Amino acid sequence: MDIPHIVTAGPMLLAIPLALAAGGITFLSPYCLPLVPGYLSFITGMSGTEGQHPARGSVLRGRTVLGTLLFMVGFSGLFAAYGAFSGSLGAPCCSTTRTS
């Protein structure tokens, strides 16, 4: 079995781990990994030195989790809106095609 066959016609139980592995490899690439500190600073609203105080650990953890959830909801909502908009543009094109 080759990879394109698994993705297009193969069993889903093999395609999902393959997609997750591809995402992990992409994340570790030299183009994405340097962005992580900036994203973490943006999500938490802190610099690296502010997160090193052990007395404020639970407050910082809660702030980080809340910021991460809001970031994920905003990011997902934006791309869902892009998909809905693109689908609304493509719908008139598909309604005029004939299927024989």
Q: How many domains does the chain have?
A: 1
Domain membership of residue 100 (yes or no) is no
Domain membership of residue 7 (yes or no) is yes
Range of the domain at 52: 3-95
Cβ-contact 48, 37 below 8 angstroms: yes
Domain membership of residue 50 (yes or no) is yes
Amino acid making up residue 58:
S
Amino acid making up residue 92:
P
Domain membership of residue 17 (yes or no) is yes
Return the C-alpha torsion angle 71, 75, 81, 84, nearest 10: -130
* Per-residue pLDDT tens digits of the chain, which is 100 residues long: 676 776 677 677 777 888 889 988 988 888 888 887 777 777 777 766 665 666 566 777 787 788 888 888 988 899 999 989 988 888 777 766 666 5
Domain membership of residue 54 (yes or no) is yes
Alpha helices in the chain (DSSP H): 3-8, 12-27, 36-44, 57-95
Domain membership of residue 76 (yes or no) is yes
